[in-house]
Protein backbone atom coordinates (compact mmCIF):
# COMPACT_ATOMS: atom_id res chain seq x y z
CA UNK A 1 0.00 0.00 0.00
CA UNK A 2 1.43 3.34 -1.04
CA UNK A 3 1.33 6.62 0.91
CA UNK A 4 -1.26 7.85 -1.57
CA UNK A 5 -3.50 4.88 -0.76
CA UNK A 6 -3.22 5.56 2.97
CA UNK A 7 -4.04 9.23 2.41
CA UNK A 8 -7.10 8.28 0.34
CA UNK A 9 -8.37 5.98 3.09
CA UNK A 10 -7.89 8.70 5.72
CA UNK A 11 -9.70 11.22 3.54
CA UNK A 12 -12.62 8.85 3.12
CA UNK A 13 -12.86 8.02 6.82
CA UNK A 14 -12.83 11.68 7.81
CA UNK A 15 -15.63 12.33 5.31
CA UNK A 16 -18.04 9.94 7.02
CA UNK A 17 -20.82 11.62 9.01
CA UNK A 18 -20.39 11.70 12.76
CA UNK A 19 -22.62 9.39 14.76
CA UNK A 20 -23.31 10.37 18.34
CA UNK A 21 -24.41 7.75 20.83
CA UNK A 22 -25.64 8.60 24.28
CA UNK A 23 -23.23 7.41 26.94
CA UNK A 24 -24.68 4.94 29.42
CA UNK A 25 -24.87 6.12 33.00
CA UNK A 26 -22.70 4.24 35.46
CA UNK A 27 -24.27 1.95 38.03
CA UNK A 28 -21.83 2.67 40.84
CA UNK A 29 -23.29 3.25 44.29
CA UNK A 30 -22.28 5.91 46.79
CA UNK A 31 -19.47 6.71 47.53
CA UNK A 32 -17.98 5.14 44.40
CA UNK A 33 -20.07 7.36 42.12
CA UNK A 34 -18.37 10.49 43.49
CA UNK A 35 -15.66 10.97 40.91
CA UNK A 36 -14.14 13.99 42.65
CA UNK A 37 -12.86 11.62 45.35
CA UNK A 38 -10.47 10.16 42.76
CA UNK A 39 -8.25 13.17 43.45
CA UNK A 40 -7.43 11.74 46.87
CA UNK A 41 -7.29 8.13 45.65
CA UNK A 42 -4.80 9.05 42.93
CA UNK A 43 -2.70 10.99 45.42
CA UNK A 44 -2.51 7.94 47.68
CA UNK A 45 -2.27 5.09 45.17
CA UNK A 46 -1.42 6.44 41.72
CA UNK A 47 1.32 9.08 41.90
CA UNK A 48 1.88 11.01 38.68
CA UNK A 49 5.51 9.98 38.22
CA UNK A 50 7.43 8.49 35.32
CA UNK A 51 9.36 5.24 35.51
CA UNK A 52 12.84 5.86 36.92
CA UNK A 53 15.69 3.34 36.49
CA UNK A 54 17.33 1.93 39.61
CA UNK A 55 20.99 2.89 39.37
CA UNK A 56 21.93 0.06 41.75
CA UNK A 57 20.73 -2.51 39.19
CA UNK A 58 22.12 -3.46 35.80
CA UNK A 59 20.61 -2.58 32.42
CA UNK A 60 18.85 -5.93 31.97
CA UNK A 61 17.10 -5.68 35.35
CA UNK A 62 15.96 -2.14 34.60
CA UNK A 63 14.68 -3.20 31.19
CA UNK A 64 12.68 -5.98 32.82
CA UNK A 65 11.35 -3.62 35.48
CA UNK A 66 10.24 -1.16 32.79
CA UNK A 67 8.42 -3.91 30.88
CA UNK A 68 6.70 -5.32 33.99
CA UNK A 69 5.78 -2.03 35.66
CA UNK A 70 5.41 0.58 32.91
CA UNK A 71 4.31 -1.47 29.90
CA UNK A 72 2.77 -4.80 30.89
CA UNK A 73 1.34 -3.64 34.25
CA UNK A 74 1.76 -7.17 35.67
CA UNK A 75 0.71 -6.00 39.12
CA UNK A 76 -2.77 -5.02 38.00
CA UNK A 77 -3.70 -8.71 37.98
CA UNK A 78 -1.02 -10.44 40.05
CA UNK A 79 -1.00 -8.04 43.01
CA UNK A 80 -3.96 -8.13 45.45
CA UNK A 81 -5.92 -4.99 46.30
CA UNK A 82 -6.16 -3.17 49.60
CA UNK A 83 -9.55 -2.09 51.11
CA UNK A 84 -9.44 1.07 48.98
CA UNK A 85 -8.86 -1.00 45.81
CA UNK A 86 -5.31 0.23 45.42
CA UNK A 87 -2.51 -2.26 44.82
CA UNK A 88 -1.27 -3.85 48.05
CA UNK A 89 2.42 -3.76 47.22
CA UNK A 90 3.29 -5.32 50.55
CA UNK A 91 2.17 -8.49 48.77
CA UNK A 92 3.51 -7.50 45.36
CA UNK A 93 2.85 -10.16 42.69
CA UNK A 94 1.56 -12.61 45.34
CA UNK A 95 -1.54 -13.45 43.30
CA UNK A 96 -5.14 -12.24 43.21
CA UNK A 97 -8.56 -13.31 41.91
CA UNK A 98 -10.58 -11.17 39.48
CA UNK A 99 -12.95 -13.69 37.93
CA UNK A 100 -9.82 -15.67 37.03
CA UNK A 101 -7.00 -16.45 39.44
CA UNK A 102 -3.79 -14.59 38.61
CA UNK A 103 -1.14 -16.78 40.18
CA UNK A 104 1.61 -15.90 42.64
CA UNK A 105 4.66 -14.96 40.53
CA UNK A 106 7.02 -14.00 43.35
CA UNK A 107 10.20 -15.98 44.00
CA UNK A 108 8.49 -18.12 46.66
CA UNK A 109 9.44 -21.75 45.93
CA UNK A 110 6.23 -23.30 47.23
CA UNK A 111 3.44 -21.11 45.90
CA UNK A 112 5.28 -18.82 43.48
CA UNK A 113 7.74 -19.43 40.64
CA UNK A 114 10.87 -19.75 42.76
CA UNK A 115 11.25 -23.43 41.81
CA UNK A 116 10.90 -22.70 38.08
CA UNK A 117 14.03 -22.49 35.96
CA UNK A 118 14.71 -19.39 33.86
CA UNK A 119 14.00 -21.42 30.72
CA UNK A 120 10.64 -22.56 32.11
CA UNK A 121 9.55 -19.00 32.85
CA UNK A 122 10.80 -17.89 29.42
CA UNK A 123 8.82 -20.65 27.68
CA UNK A 124 5.65 -19.84 29.61
CA UNK A 125 5.87 -16.14 28.74
CA UNK A 126 6.67 -16.66 25.05
CA UNK A 127 4.63 -19.77 24.22
CA UNK A 128 2.04 -19.88 26.99
CA UNK A 129 3.09 -23.35 28.05
CA UNK A 130 5.74 -25.10 30.12
CA UNK A 131 5.93 -28.85 30.62
CA UNK A 132 4.86 -29.94 34.12
CA UNK A 133 3.87 -26.36 34.93
CA UNK A 134 0.75 -25.69 32.88
CA UNK A 135 -0.70 -23.67 30.02
CA UNK A 136 -1.70 -20.01 30.03
CA UNK A 137 -5.44 -19.48 29.64
CA UNK A 138 -7.97 -16.68 30.03
CA UNK A 139 -6.53 -13.17 30.32
CA UNK A 140 -2.97 -14.53 30.67
CA UNK A 141 -3.40 -16.51 27.47
CA UNK A 142 -4.39 -13.31 25.69
CA UNK A 143 -1.36 -11.51 27.12
CA UNK A 144 0.92 -14.21 25.75
CA UNK A 145 -0.83 -14.38 22.37
CA UNK A 146 -1.14 -10.68 21.65
CA UNK A 147 1.83 -9.21 23.53
CA UNK A 148 4.57 -11.30 25.11
CA UNK A 149 4.92 -13.77 22.23
CA UNK A 150 5.54 -10.82 19.89
CA UNK A 151 8.39 -9.34 21.93
CA UNK A 152 12.11 -9.74 21.40
CA UNK A 153 13.62 -12.70 23.28
CA UNK A 154 16.06 -10.33 25.00
CA UNK A 155 13.13 -8.39 26.45
CA UNK A 156 11.54 -11.56 27.82
CA UNK A 157 14.88 -12.56 29.36
CA UNK A 158 15.02 -9.15 31.01
CA UNK A 159 11.49 -9.67 32.33
CA UNK A 160 12.55 -13.03 33.78
CA UNK A 161 15.51 -11.34 35.49
CA UNK A 162 13.21 -8.77 37.08
CA UNK A 163 10.66 -11.35 38.24
CA UNK A 164 13.45 -13.33 39.86
CA UNK A 165 14.24 -10.32 42.05
CA UNK A 166 10.72 -9.94 43.49
CA UNK A 167 10.82 -10.91 47.19
CA UNK A 168 9.20 -14.23 48.02
CA UNK A 169 5.67 -13.98 49.41
CA UNK A 170 3.81 -17.15 50.35
CA UNK A 171 0.17 -17.30 49.31
CA UNK A 172 -2.82 -19.61 49.68
CA UNK A 173 -2.18 -21.19 46.30
CA UNK A 174 -1.32 -24.90 46.19
CA UNK A 175 2.22 -25.77 47.21
CA UNK A 176 1.72 -29.52 46.62
CA UNK A 177 1.42 -30.75 43.05
CA UNK A 178 -0.20 -34.17 42.59
CA UNK A 179 1.35 -36.84 40.33
CA UNK A 180 -0.44 -38.15 37.22
CA UNK A 181 -3.64 -40.08 37.87
CA UNK A 182 -4.05 -43.83 37.19
CA UNK A 183 -4.94 -44.92 33.66
CA UNK A 184 -8.16 -46.55 34.84
CA UNK A 185 -11.13 -44.31 35.69
CA UNK A 186 -12.02 -46.78 38.44
CA UNK A 187 -8.84 -45.88 40.31
CA UNK A 188 -7.53 -42.62 41.77
CA UNK A 189 -9.30 -39.64 43.28
CA UNK A 190 -12.93 -38.61 42.74
CA UNK A 191 -14.02 -42.07 41.56
CA UNK A 192 -17.31 -41.71 43.44
CA UNK A 193 -18.24 -38.43 41.71
CA UNK A 194 -20.66 -39.92 39.20
CA UNK A 195 -21.86 -36.72 37.48
CA UNK A 196 -18.39 -35.19 37.23
CA UNK A 197 -16.96 -38.43 35.87
CA UNK A 198 -19.79 -38.67 33.32
CA UNK A 199 -19.16 -35.16 31.98
CA UNK A 200 -15.39 -35.73 31.93
CA UNK A 201 -15.91 -38.95 29.93
CA UNK A 202 -18.19 -37.14 27.47
CA UNK A 203 -16.20 -33.98 26.83
CA UNK A 204 -12.71 -34.16 28.30
CA UNK A 205 -11.05 -37.58 28.32
CA UNK A 206 -10.44 -37.72 24.55
CA UNK A 207 -7.97 -34.85 24.85
CA UNK A 208 -6.79 -34.95 28.47
CA UNK A 209 -6.94 -38.76 29.09
CA UNK A 210 -7.67 -40.42 32.43
CA UNK A 211 -4.08 -39.79 33.54
CA UNK A 212 -4.15 -36.07 32.75
CA UNK A 213 -1.22 -36.49 30.35
CA UNK A 214 -2.44 -35.79 26.83
CA UNK A 215 -1.38 -37.95 23.90
CA UNK A 216 -2.47 -35.19 21.50
CA UNK A 217 -0.50 -32.17 22.65
CA UNK A 218 1.53 -30.96 25.63
CA UNK A 219 -0.87 -28.01 25.74
CA UNK A 220 -3.69 -30.40 26.70
CA UNK A 221 -1.74 -32.02 29.55
CA UNK A 222 -3.36 -30.95 32.81
CA UNK A 223 -1.48 -33.18 35.25
CA UNK A 224 0.97 -31.08 37.25
CA UNK A 225 -0.66 -27.76 36.39
CA UNK A 226 -1.42 -25.17 39.03
CA UNK A 227 -5.04 -24.90 37.90
CA UNK A 228 -6.02 -28.49 38.72
CA UNK A 229 -4.12 -28.32 42.03
CA UNK A 230 -5.99 -25.20 43.12
CA UNK A 231 -8.70 -26.20 45.63
CA UNK A 232 -10.87 -23.24 44.57
CA UNK A 233 -10.99 -24.61 40.98
CA UNK A 234 -11.49 -21.03 39.77
CA UNK A 235 -9.47 -21.32 36.57
CA UNK A 236 -10.61 -24.89 35.90
CA UNK A 237 -14.23 -23.74 35.91
CA UNK A 238 -13.48 -20.67 33.79
CA UNK A 239 -11.63 -22.73 31.20
CA UNK A 240 -14.57 -25.14 30.99
CA UNK A 241 -16.97 -22.20 30.63
CA UNK A 242 -15.08 -20.10 28.08
CA UNK A 243 -12.40 -22.38 26.63
CA UNK A 244 -8.95 -21.11 25.75
CA UNK A 245 -7.99 -18.53 23.16
CA UNK A 246 -4.70 -19.60 21.65
CA UNK A 247 -3.27 -17.79 18.64
CA UNK A 248 0.40 -18.55 19.30
CA UNK A 249 1.76 -20.80 16.50
CA UNK A 250 1.76 -24.47 17.51
CA UNK A 251 -0.65 -23.93 20.39
CA UNK A 252 -3.76 -26.06 20.89
CA UNK A 253 -7.11 -24.50 21.74
CA UNK A 254 -9.88 -25.89 23.92
CA UNK A 255 -13.49 -25.11 22.93
CA UNK A 256 -15.90 -23.45 25.33
CA UNK A 257 -18.45 -25.68 27.05
CA UNK A 258 -20.31 -22.93 28.90
CA UNK A 259 -23.36 -23.19 26.64
CA UNK A 260 -23.23 -26.99 26.49
CA UNK A 261 -23.38 -27.83 30.19
CA UNK A 262 -25.38 -26.44 33.09
CA UNK A 263 -23.86 -24.74 36.11
CA UNK A 264 -24.44 -27.93 38.10
CA UNK A 265 -22.61 -30.06 35.52
CA UNK A 266 -19.71 -27.61 35.26
CA UNK A 267 -19.34 -27.53 39.04
CA UNK A 268 -19.38 -31.34 39.11
CA UNK A 269 -16.73 -31.79 36.42
CA UNK A 270 -14.51 -29.07 37.93
CA UNK A 271 -14.69 -30.85 41.29
CA UNK A 272 -13.95 -34.15 39.56
CA UNK A 273 -10.89 -32.70 37.78
CA UNK A 274 -9.38 -31.26 40.95
CA UNK A 275 -10.19 -34.42 42.87
CA UNK A 276 -8.65 -36.72 40.27
CA UNK A 277 -5.68 -34.68 39.06
CA UNK A 278 -5.05 -32.29 41.96
CA UNK A 279 -3.87 -32.56 45.53
CA UNK A 280 -7.19 -31.37 47.08
CA UNK A 281 -10.67 -31.73 45.60
CA UNK A 282 -12.64 -28.51 45.17
CA UNK A 283 -16.22 -28.04 46.38
CA UNK A 284 -17.73 -25.77 43.75
CA UNK A 285 -21.49 -25.38 43.63
CA UNK A 286 -23.79 -24.35 40.80
CA UNK A 287 -24.08 -20.94 42.49
CA UNK A 288 -20.30 -20.54 42.41
CA UNK A 289 -20.23 -21.30 38.68
CA UNK A 290 -23.03 -18.80 38.03
CA UNK A 291 -21.03 -16.12 39.85
CA UNK A 292 -17.93 -16.93 37.80
CA UNK A 293 -19.96 -16.59 34.61
CA UNK A 294 -21.20 -13.21 35.76
CA UNK A 295 -17.70 -11.94 36.52
CA UNK A 296 -16.41 -12.67 33.01
CA UNK A 297 -19.56 -12.23 30.93
CA UNK A 298 -19.95 -15.90 29.95
Please report whether residue 234 resides in a domain. yes
Please report whether residue 91 resides in a domain. yes
Please report whether residue 123 resides in a domain. yes
pLDDT band per the 50, 70, 90 thresholds, residue 191? confident
Please report whether residue 170 resides in a domain. no
Please report whether residue 81 resides in a domain. yes
Please report whether residue 96 resides in a domain. yes
Query: What pTM was computed for the model?
Result: 0.83
pLDDT, residue 297, reads 66
Give tens-digit pLDDT for 51-98: 889 999 999 999 999 999 999 999 999 999 999 889 999 999 999 998
What is the CATH classification number for the domain harbouring 145? 1.10.760.10
Please report whether residue 31 resides in a domain. no
Residues 136 and 204 in one domain: no
Looking at 146, 164, 182, which one is the last position of a domain?
A: 164
- If one counts the domains in the chain, the total is 2
Residues 217 and 158 in one domain: no
Whether 191 and 185 have beta carbons less than 8 Å apart is answered as: yes
When pLDDT is averaged across residues 265-278 and rounded to a whole number, the result is: 96
Q: DSSP labels for 195-254?
A: HHHHHHHHHTHHHHTTTS--SS-GGG--TT-TTTT-TT-HHHHHHHHH-----STT----
When pLDDT is averaged across residues 162-176 and rounded to a whole number, the result is: 89
pLDDT, residue 49, reads 83
**1 pLDDT exceeds 70?**
no
Q: Could you list the residue range(s) of the whole structural domain that residue 288 is in?
A: 194-296
Q: How far apart are CA 193 and CA 9, in angstroms?
A: 60
Looking at 119, 143, 164, which one is the last position of a domain?
A: 164
Give tens-digit pLDDT for 207-247: 999 999 999 888 899 999 999 999 999 999 999 999 987 67
Amino acid sequence: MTDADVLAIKTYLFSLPAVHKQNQRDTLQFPFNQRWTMIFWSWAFNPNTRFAPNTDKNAEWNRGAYIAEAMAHCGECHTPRNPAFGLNNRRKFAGAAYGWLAYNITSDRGTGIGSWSDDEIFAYLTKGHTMRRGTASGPMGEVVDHSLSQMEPADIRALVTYLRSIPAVASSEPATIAPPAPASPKEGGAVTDALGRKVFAQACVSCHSWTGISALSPFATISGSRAVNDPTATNVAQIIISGTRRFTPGAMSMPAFGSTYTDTEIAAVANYVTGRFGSVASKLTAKDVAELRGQTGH
